[in-house]
């Protein structure tokens, strides 16, 4: 009998990426070519024109910042003309440009790279590392994503895995993978909260564990709240202190900024175990031809003051997630910490105060996501496999003519699930298409949500059934009835070509318009079908 193909679990992180493998039911992290357990999620182009990935790429971040890509997890699956990308452009030294289908892309050495391509280079390096260490080809993987990733982002990560040569068996939310690492084969019956404060994102999920059944009850998060934001606070503090001491502004100095960023991150990490540090950087700038050194002390209390509002934002999100399921903090049996930033003493202190109990020890915050993903992959197809019920983190909606959205699939529903409707006729008999713009996000306004694409079908399809199907991975599939084919329900790719201009116009109109009165949606509402009819007929 042939051995079952080995499936690795991959934690594709904003800062670092890890890969794990299971042997004899025990998951272990695979060490990298440098002997570390983590691979920096960095891609760079060397001065000789060679593509570098991981530690060697990170090494040149100071000397070649323009051609060093980092933090791209925050961009993947985003539309270039979204508010999010507009805000991110000032965060990075590299150029962010518009790529195919209106997606955000990046420039490296004069060449445009899509974000799935960039991530595939990291995943490809991980694949090579795993194959060398495990002694054979690795073609299958389970890859984790932030729970608060939308459909575009999840699909982009899956595409990155495909480009790297993986058959991606499943996309799993990071908090869910961490819960697997904590509870797999332990026979627990608990309600747990996974507090995941990683390098670039914050996720929180509440799960019900019953043996090897893992049910996500509610999830939420912020894809712009993570360790890099804490680093930036320290970095801004150092720049302000240096300017106060020397009247020299280093904020526009491309050579100094990466060094200060690295020093800020190192100081933040040191303050996890120490009460004070001295940050020293020789020759970071000059004044009147004389070199200037940076020498600034920082205490743990000062770090807490700089970042306490970021920490409090995480608990606002925790409370909202609990309220959505009618739960109280006291009803949580265990709190599991995930992500390097969760090691911060202030975070652990506030968890004790907020939930009335300390976080669970014994779960490695950096490794548990990859370990859980590997356990899930290893169990696929087994008789005693894990039963995993994931939940949709943000509702999926369609746009209304007034700039609002109407929900098709609500948040926190578990997949798989299907919502079915009949396509109405376009109001203009000469119109060749029936169209509907699809969004994902918590806002009632399309301008604040992420644009997923446009349902575009021939006008002759009026009266046919359309299915919005949520998979077990919380990915959206749209299927339209075609009686001439078997099976009659056929997948439909959401159109994005020539849509960004339409969306930009809708965003401009929405921003220029005053929000309607609170009772207006109720007056206009006539159920989901009547709303669909109004949208389809708006042209």
Higher pLDDT, 527 or 47: 47
Q: Which of 411, 437, 448 is nearest to 539 (CA)?
A: 437
> Per this entry, what is the length of the chain?
539
Confidence of residue 522 (pLDDT cuts 50, 70, 90): very low
**Segment 286-303 mean pLDDT:** 94
Which pLDDT does position 363 carry in this prediction?
Answer: 85
Q: Rounded to whole angstroms, how far apart are CA atoms 224 and 378?
A: 32
Which pLDDT does position 88 carry in this prediction?
Answer: 83
| Portion of the chain with pLDDT greater than 90, in percent | 64
Which pLDDT does position 4 carry in this prediction?
Answer: 63
Which pLDDT does position 436 carry in this prediction?
Answer: 86
Which pLDDT does position 280 carry in this prediction?
Answer: 96
Which pLDDT does position 378 carry in this prediction?
Answer: 92
- pLDDT digits over 405-441, tens only? 999 999 999 989 999 989 888 767 788 888 888 999 9
CA 490 vs. chain centroid, Å, equals 29
Which pLDDT does position 521 carry in this prediction?
Answer: 36
The pTM of this model reads: 0.86
Which pLDDT does position 525 carry in this prediction?
Answer: 37
- pLDDT digits over 360-418, tens only? 988 899 999 999 999 999 998 776 678 889 999 999 999 888 889 999 999 999 989 99
Tokens 């040191």 belong to 270
Higher pLDDT, 314 or 454: 314
Q: Is 462 exposed, middle or buried (0-12, 13-18, 19+ CB in 10 A)?
A: middle
| Of 27-36, 154-163, 267-276, 322-331, minimum mean pLDDT range | 27-36
Q: Which of 450, 438, 390, 443 is nearest to 417 (CA)?
A: 390
Q: Rounded to whole angstroms, how far apart are CA atoms 231 and 223?
A: 16
CA 502 vs. chain centroid, Å, equals 26
CA 410 vs. chain centroid, Å, equals 19
Q: Is the pLDDT of residue 272 over 60?
A: yes
**Segment 324-342 mean pLDDT:** 94
Q: Is the pLDDT of residue 514 over 60?
A: no
CA atoms within 13 A on the CB side of 493: 5
Secondary structure in 3-state letters for 102-151: HEEEEEECCEEEEHHHHHHHHHHHHHHHHHHHHCCCCCEEEEEECCCCCH
Q: Is the pLDDT of residue 524 over 60?
A: no
Higher pLDDT, 13 or 289: 13
- pLDDT digits over 137-181, tens only? 999 999 999 998 999 999 999 999 999 999 999 999 999 999 999
Q: Is the pLDDT of residue 519 over 70?
A: no
- pLDDT digits over 179-201, tens only? 999 999 899 999 999 999 998 88
| Portion of the chain with pLDDT greater than 70, in percent | 90
Residue partners of 282: CB distance under 8 A and separation at least 6:
291, 293
Mean pLDDT of all residues in the chain? 88
**Segment 288-302 mean pLDDT:** 95
Which pLDDT does position 384 carry in this prediction?
Answer: 66
Confidence of residue 237 (pLDDT cuts 50, 70, 90): very high
Confidence of residue 2 (pLDDT cuts 50, 70, 90): very low
Q: Which of 323, 302, 308, 315 is nearest to 354 (CA)?
A: 315
Higher pLDDT, 36 or 51: 51
| Of 1-5, 62-66, 211-215, 412-416, minimum mean pLDDT range | 1-5
Which pLDDT does position 87 carry in this prediction?
Answer: 80
- What residue ranges define each of the domains in the chain, with the CATH number in brackets? 7-185+364-389 (3.30.420.40), 227-304 (3.90.640.10), 396-536 (2.60.34)
Q: Is the pLDDT of residue 526 over 60?
A: no
Which pLDDT does position 512 carry in this prediction?
Answer: 53
Which pLDDT does position 8 carry in this prediction?
Answer: 97
Higher pLDDT, 85 or 243: 243
């Amino acid at each position: 009998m042939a051995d079952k193909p080995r499936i690795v679990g991959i934690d594709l992180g904003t800062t670092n990426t890890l890969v794990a493998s299971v042997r004899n039911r025990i998951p272990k992290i695979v060490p990298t070519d440098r002997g570390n357990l983590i691979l920096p999620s960095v891609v760079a182009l060397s001065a000789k024109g060679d593509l570098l990935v991981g530690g060697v790429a990170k090494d040149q971040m100071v000397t070649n910042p323009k051609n060093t890509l980092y933090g791209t997890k925050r961009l993947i699956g985003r539309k270039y003309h979204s508010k999010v990308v507009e805000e991110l452009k000032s965060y990075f030294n590299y150029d962010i440009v518009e790529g195919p289908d209106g997606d955000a892309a990046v420039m490296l050495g004069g060449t445009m790279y899509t974000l799935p391509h960039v991530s595939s280079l990291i995943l490809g390096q991980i694949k090579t590392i795993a194959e060398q260490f495990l002694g054979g080809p690795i073609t299958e993987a389970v890859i984790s994503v932030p729970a608060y990733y939308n459909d575009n982002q999840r699909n982009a990560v899956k595409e990155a895995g495909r480009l790297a040569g993986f058959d991606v068996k499943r996309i799993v939310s990071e908090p869910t993978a961490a819960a697997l690492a904590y509870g797999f084969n332990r026979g627990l019956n608990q309600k747990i909260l996974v507090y995941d404060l990683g390098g670039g994102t914050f996720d929180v999920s509440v799960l019900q564990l019953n043996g090897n059944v893992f049910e996500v009850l509610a999830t939420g998060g912020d894809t712009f709240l993570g360790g890099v934001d804490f680093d930036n606070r320290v970095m801004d503090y150092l720049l302000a202190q240096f300017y106060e001491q020397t009247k020299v502004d280093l904020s526009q100095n491309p050579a100094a900024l990466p060094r200060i960023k690295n020093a800020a991150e190192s100081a933040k990490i040191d303050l996890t175990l120490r009460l004070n540090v001295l940050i020293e950087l020789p020759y970071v700038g000059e004044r009147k031809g004389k070199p200037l050194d940076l020498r600034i002390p920082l205490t743990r209390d000062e770090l807490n003051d700089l970042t306490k509002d970021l920490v409090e934002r995480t608990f606002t999100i925790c409370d909202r997630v609990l309220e959505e399921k009618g739960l109280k903090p006291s009803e949580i049996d265990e709190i599991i910490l995930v992500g390097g930033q969760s090691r911060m003493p202030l975070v652990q202190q506030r968890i004790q105060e907020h939930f009335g109990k300390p976080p669970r020890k014994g779960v490695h915050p950096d490794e548990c996501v990859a370990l859980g993903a590997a356990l899930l992959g290893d169990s696929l197809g087994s008789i005693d496999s894990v039963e995993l019920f994931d939940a949709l983190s943000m509702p999926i909606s369609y746009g209304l003519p007034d700039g609002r959205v109407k929900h098709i699939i609500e948040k926190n529903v578990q997949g798989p699930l299907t919502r079915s409707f009949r396509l109405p006729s376009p109001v203009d008999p000469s119109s060749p298409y029936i169209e509907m713009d699809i969004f994902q996000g918590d806002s009632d306004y399309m301008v604040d949500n992420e644009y997923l694409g446009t349902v575009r079908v021939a006008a002759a399809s009026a009266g046919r059934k359309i299915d919005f199907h949520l998979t077990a991975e919380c990915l959206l599939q749209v299927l339209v009835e075609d009686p001439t084919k078997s099976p009659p329900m056929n997948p439909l790719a959401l159109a994005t070509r020539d849509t960004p201009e339409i969306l930009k116009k809708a965003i401009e109109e929405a921003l220029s318009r005053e929000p309607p009165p609170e009772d207006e949606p109720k007056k206009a509402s006539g159920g989901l079908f009547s709303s669909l009819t109004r949208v389809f007929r708006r042209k």
